Amino acid sequence: MENKNNELVSVNLNMLIRLAKPAATLKLFRSRIRAPQSGGLLSKAKGRGMEFDEVRMYQPGDDIRSIDWRVTARTGKTHTKLFREERERPVFISVDYRASMQFATRGVYKAVQAAKLAALLAWVAQRHGDRIGGQIFTDTACRELKPQNGKQAVLHFFNALINAEARQEAINFEQVMGRLSHHVKPGSLVYIISDFRGMNKAVENYLAKLARHCEVVMILVYDPLENHLPKKGRYRFTDNTTDIVVDTGDKQRVLNYQEKFLLHCAGIQKLANKLNIRLLRCASNDDPVQILR
């Protein structure tokens, strides 16, 4: 019973390994986009990247951007480069462990829910043969893991989720997203699991940069209390350092509180629509398997 209660507020290896079974019922996000190499035909493979294969004589209909000018100059005849799809796609999972994620009134802590979502995605990626990497960040540290193959990469990622670094050097959401846009390779599938506190114009620009070259999926994690305060009454909240008492009998305060959260969600949805990013929402008491399904 004690271990079960601990899993409401913290992450352990057994919890993440157990998610391998339900992950078998899931698939990673795949969108249909236009690939220039195919003359405008629809492709399911954006993000897997294209690897150089060979050079051959130019044929009518070939993309002129793929002409190999060196071989053309050397031979006097137009040649074009052929590319083939990479077999493995990098899957990069960014997980928010900041103080605002160490909270819940129902279900599990938002950080625990984020870790569960990340673990499910890692298991699915491993089953698909994709390379798995990630980013785990707190208010004082940020760590990136280079995408690698196999079950060992999954366990390496899990170890980072369990043992998040705690360097005493403040880092904000803008800096984290800047690092993410720097570390992720074009063609990756990128999941960002967060409550997205700290959104600003610079963050939006980094997300736009990512979305130009990668598939991006944002997963907004929240607690039901952030959406709706409880019925009339006085409620005490604590972070073990500071206590606050909220009086939900103050109707204007309740309306202001709910409006703030709704505006936050609407802003994220608007940005996702603008950048053609898929947005999922997951409450702390939701079943993460059902959300990803």
Range 143-163 average pLDDT: 95
Structure-model confidence comparison of residues 111 and 57, the more confident one = 111
- Rounded to whole angstroms, the Cα distance separating 254 from 250 reads 6
| pLDDT confidence of residue 290 | 95
| pLDDT confidence of residue 50 | 58
Q: Specify the 3-state DSSP secondary structure of 55.
A: strand
Structure-model confidence comparison of residues 34 and 24, the more confident one = 24
- Rounded to whole angstroms, the Cα distance separating 290 from 25 reads 10
Range 69-88 average pLDDT: 79
Reply yes or no on whether the pLDDT at 7 is more than 60.
yes
- Domains, the chain: 2-30+88-292 (3.40.50.410), 50-85 (no CATH)
| pLDDT confidence of residue 84 | 52
Reply yes or no on whether the pLDDT at 119 is more than 70.
yes
For the chain, the average pLDDT equals 85
| pLDDT confidence of residue 89 | 83
| pLDDT confidence of residue 65 | 82
**Residue 169 confidence class, pLDDT cut points 50, 70, 90:** confident
Among 51, 54, 66, 100, CA closest to 198? 100
| pLDDT confidence of residue 233 | 65
**Residue 249 confidence class, pLDDT cut points 50, 70, 90:** low
**Residue 81 confidence class, pLDDT cut points 50, 70, 90:** confident
Q: Would you say 239 and 210 are in contact if contact means Cβ atoms under 8 Å apart?
A: no
Reply yes or no on whether the pLDDT at 184 is more than 60.
yes
Range 83-112 average pLDDT: 87
Range 67-95 average pLDDT: 83
Range 268-277 average pLDDT: 96
Reply yes or no on whether the pLDDT at 135 is more than 90.
yes
| pLDDT confidence of residue 41 | 33
| pLDDT confidence of residue 33 | 40
Residue positions counted in the chain = 293
- Rounded to whole angstroms, the Cα distance separating 94 from 174 reads 13
The single residue listed with the structure tokens 């603008």 is: 274
Range 183-199 average pLDDT: 95
* Segment (H or E) for 90: strand 90-96
Range 266-293 average pLDDT: 96
Range 187-208 average pLDDT: 96
Reply yes or no on whether the pLDDT at 272 is more than 60.
yes
Reply yes or no on whether the pLDDT at 117 is more than 60.
yes
Structure-model confidence comparison of residues 162 and 43, the more confident one = 162
* Segment (H or E) for 273: helix 251-275
What whole-number percentage of the chain has pLDDT above 70?
81
